[in-house]
Amino acid sequence: MNKNELGVHVLSPKNCDIDILDNGRTVKDVIDNKIKELGPDNEEPFYVANLDSMYERHLRWLANLPRVKPFYAVKCNNTAAVLRMMSALDIGFDCASKGEIQTALSLGVTPHKIIYAHTTKPMSHIKYACAHGVDMMTFDNEDELLKMSLCHPKAKLVLRIAVDDSKSLVKLSSKFGARLVSVGKLLERAGELGSEIIGVSFHVGSGCTGGSAFKQAIADARQVFDIANLLGFQMRLLDIGGGFSAIGDFQGKFEEFSVIINEALDEFFPPDCGVQIIAEPGRYYVESAFTLAANVFAKRVIFDEMDEDSDGGENSPDRIMMYYLNDGVYGSMSCIVFDPAHSNLEPYLHRVNIKPSRHMRKYRSVIWGPTCDCIDKITDGYWIPELHVGDWLLIDNMGAYSVSVSTDFNSFERAHVYTVVTAETWRALNLSQTFDMPCSYFITKHCIVC
Ligand code: PLP
C-alpha cells in the first residue's frame, strides 16, 4: 500500500484499482492522468468506469419504478467493479450461465438474489445452480421443464412468454418465450411433473422505443397468472425483463415508460395482490458509466485518383484520412455490428495533444480498428480535423455490451478498466466494505486514505 507525505496509506490504483474523484477532479482529469502515466510506449486502450453514474441511474430507478426490484443482467457488463457496485446497491442478479452464476457467487452474492434467466440451459449448468442454491430460473418449453425436473427438482420456475417486440431494436421474442396459445398445455405438463411454477417473465427487446409494449406484455402476463392460478400454482413473481435505455434517442424514454409500467402494474397487479415485481435491466444501469480511450497508432493518407483536378497536395479536397485505433469491432466496439441500439459511435479527440479550434480544417476520415479484417471499421465519412499518430480518442457511453462481448482477435489486448467514484458516493454507500479494501478509509484535506 502507498503512503502519502503525512505517512498515511493512500487509496491508489496500485492498491485497489479504484480512484476517488476528490478536490473537483473529473473523469476527464483521470483520463488525462492515465494517458500521461502510460507514456508513449504503452498505448493500450482503456476504460474509465464511473460508479457515480450507476448510482445516479439507481436513484432514478427507485424514484420512477418504486415497485420494481432490479436484478442486473450480468451479461451486459460483467466487470468486477460493476458487479460489486450492484451488490452495494442491494440489486439482484440476472445470470445466464454457470459462469455468470459463479462470478456472482464469488463476489459474495447470496443465491436467493440470483435469477438464472435463460430459457435454454445446459444440464450441467442447471445442476451447478441446484448445488449452489440458485433456485429461481426461467423456461419456455417442455424439454426444458423435463431437464429441470431431472437436474433441479426443487427449482422455482418462471415461465417466459413471447411478447410484442416490434418496437424494439433487438427482437428477443423471435428466439425466446412461449406463445400465449401454448401456455395452458405447458403449465399442465409442469403440474404432471410436480414442478413449482412461481411466476411469469418477458423481455420486450433491448432498445425498446415504445412503452405500450410493456403495457401489453403486463396484460399478457396477467392472463398467464390467471391460467396458472386456476391450475393450482401459487403465482407470486412477475419479471418485466430489460429493454431500458436513457441515452441518445432514448433520452426521457425511461421516465415515459415508467409511467406506463406503473399504471399497468396498478391495473393488472395492484400493490396488495401479493406478487413481487422484478426486472432484469442491463443497458440502463451501465451504458453511460464507461468512457473508452483508444490510441491512434497508425495513419494513412489516401487520394481519390478519380479526381482529375487533384494535385494530391495538402489542400486537395479529395484527401481521405485513414486512422487505425488500438481498439475496434473485435474489441470494445462489437456493438457496431451486433447492437442496433448502439451502432453509431462518435469518437472525439482527447485534449492532451491538440487544442481543438472551430477554424481547423476538417477532412473526410475513416477510422479502423486494429485487426487484419476490413469489417473492423469504426466509422466512415467522418469529418474531423487531422489526427496524428499518438493521439487519443474518447468514446462516451461505452458501458453496455462492450467489455463483456470483446475478443482478443489478432491477440490485441482487451481494454483495461479503471474505476472511479466520488468521495461522497464512496462514503454514502460505505464502499470500502464492498470493494474489499484492506483497511477502513477516511478523508484528509487533499486525499482519500485507507
Ligand atoms: N434479460 C434477458 C433474458 C436478456 O436476454 C437481456 C438482454 O439480452 C437482458 C435481460 C438485458 O436487457 P437490456 O440490456 O436491454 O436491459
Q: For 113-142, write each residue's pLDDT tens digit.
A: 999 999 999 999 999 999 999 999 999 999
Pinpoint the residues of the chain covered by CATH 3.20.20.10: 52-281
- Our measurement of the distance from residue 356's CA atom to the centroid of its chain's CA atoms, rounded to an integer in Å, reads 31
Q: Which of 151, 372, 374, 447 is catalytic?
A: 372
Q: How far is CA 353 from CA 32, 168, 385, in A?
A: 10, 40, 13
Whose CA is closest to 259, among 214, 204, 201? 214
pLDDT of 391 > 50? The answer is yes
Whose CA is closest to 190, among 216, 239, 157? 157
pLDDT of residue 287: 97
- Ligand 1 centre from 131 Cα, in Å? 25
33-81: pLDDT as tens digits:
999 988 878 889 999 999 999 999 999 999 999 999 999 999 999 999 9
pLDDT of 411 > 80? The answer is yes
Above 0.90 for ipTM, yes or no? yes
Residue 361: all three cell numbers together:
480544417
Say whether 76 is catalytic: no
172-204: pLDDT as tens digits:
998 999 999 999 999 999 999 999 999 999 999
Pinpoint the residues of the chain covered by CATH 2.40.37.10: 2-50+288-419
pTM of the model: 0.91
Counting from 1 in the atom list of ligand 1, the atom nearest the Cα of 201 is 3
Name residues contacting ligand 1 (CB within 6 A).
73, 76, 94, 117, 172, 203, 206, 241-244, 280-284
pLDDT of residue 392: 95
Local confidence band at 312 (pLDDT 50, 70, 90 cut-offs):
low
Counting from 1 in the atom list of ligand 1, the atom nearest the Cα of 76 is 14
CATH number for the domain running over 2-50+288-419:
2.40.37.10
- Taking domain 52-281, whether its CATH number is 3.20.20.10 is answered by yes
Rounded Cα distance between 47 and 415, Å, is: 6
Residue to mutate (ligand 1; options 54, 57, 76; most atoms within 8 A of CB): 76
- The dihedrals phi and psi of 92, each to the nearest 5 degrees, come to -80, 180
Mean pLDDT of 276-297: 97
